[in-house]
Amino acid sequence: MSEIIIGTRKSKLAVAQSTLVAEELADKFPAYKFTLKKMSTKGDRITDRSLIEIGGKGLFIKEIELALLNGEIDLAVHSLKDMPGEIADEFEIIATPKRANPLDVLISKDDKSLDELPQGARIGTGSLRRKVQLLNYRPDLDIVPIRGNIDTRIKKLDSENLDAIILAAAGLERMGWSDRISQYLAPEISLPAVGQGALALEVRSNEDSVKELIRGINHCDTYVTVTAERSFLAYLEGSCKIPIAAYAQIEDDRLMIEGMVASLDGSRLLRDKLRGKREEAKELGIKLAQKLIKQGAAEILAEIKEG
């Protein structure tokens, strides 16, 4: 196989991200040709309803995974935060390139910070995780649901009469739009989504030659941190219907992970952190999930699932 077909969503950001992956692979393996196949997913096509209504984050990956399964593509590039906690046995996330900035950011009119926004300010976000943390920090805010690509959401700042919107720093930085950022939100205000800022390189489980190739651009520290975050998510059976966040970092060759579970209105918000060996990333994520369950996360999750 001298050509590797890379599957990606059609959005400007997805193409920009996949192009970075293709270029990194081409630099490392000049004997191969890496070609992008741009695809439309259900999550891209339906933008007038929330992800919760139409079936969750998996809608950004389903068509691409089907193409992978059918052999139409050899590698899928996803934003890791769009991936469910568990994936089918036929697939494997074989590598993660170096993570971009994982933080959430505020884009506001007049370049105001979150604390400078007026009482009752209207803030746009399609993320339940962001909504509950913002309301926990400032209960006076009016959170307005918005969806769409980054440029679409920035336009809605004016078209929907919003005071600000919340986006991921990584997307704006990868698009070269950092100048639009009014404030980087500290994890103490808005803990990032699981895998935010990282890319998932997904292959067929039985395709050993491709796996060997893709592993060549894996960034070990990123892989370790997102493994911890994803095991936290999987243990809690997290989805976009549940406000869950986790962020892991390597500190002095030790792994630190912080996690959050909240009620839908942000009135109850549980946070905790753990440190451990980086070799035990998966176990650390599970232990943190268990710790939050003991603190009351089980009741919060049960209420949301029953509702």
- Cα–Cα distance, 18 to 9 (Å, whole number): 9
Displacement of CA 247 from its chain's centroid (Å): 11
**Among this protein's residues, is 82 annotated catalytic?**
yes
Closest CA to 136 of 259, 246, 271, 241: 271
Lowest-pLDDT range of 11-20, 57-66, 96-105, 198-207:
57-66
Domain with CATH 3.40.190.10 in the chain: 1-98+198-218, 104-185
Of 9-18, 187-196, 268-277, the poorest mean pLDDT is in: 9-18
Q: How much is the pLDDT for 152? A: 87
The CATH number for 220-307, chosen from 3.40.50.150, 3.30.160.40, 3.30.365.10, 3.30.70.1450, is 3.30.160.40
Threshold 0.75, pTM exceeds = yes
Amino acid residing at 6: I
Domain 104-185, classified CATH 3.40.50.1370, yes or no: no
How, if at all, do strands 33-39 and 3-9 pair?
parallel
Per residue in 52-78, pLDDT (tens digit) is 444 445 566 788 999 999 999 999 999
Q: Which of 27, 44, 74, 82 is catalytic?
A: 82
pLDDT (0 to 100) of residue 1: 59
Confidence of residue 265 (pLDDT cuts 50, 70, 90): confident
pLDDT for the residue 293: 94
At residue 164, the pLDDT reads: 97
CATH code: domain 1-98+198-218 is 3.40.190.10
How do residues 123-167 score in pLDDT, each as one tens digit? 999 899 999 999 999 999 999 999 788 888 888 988 888 999 999
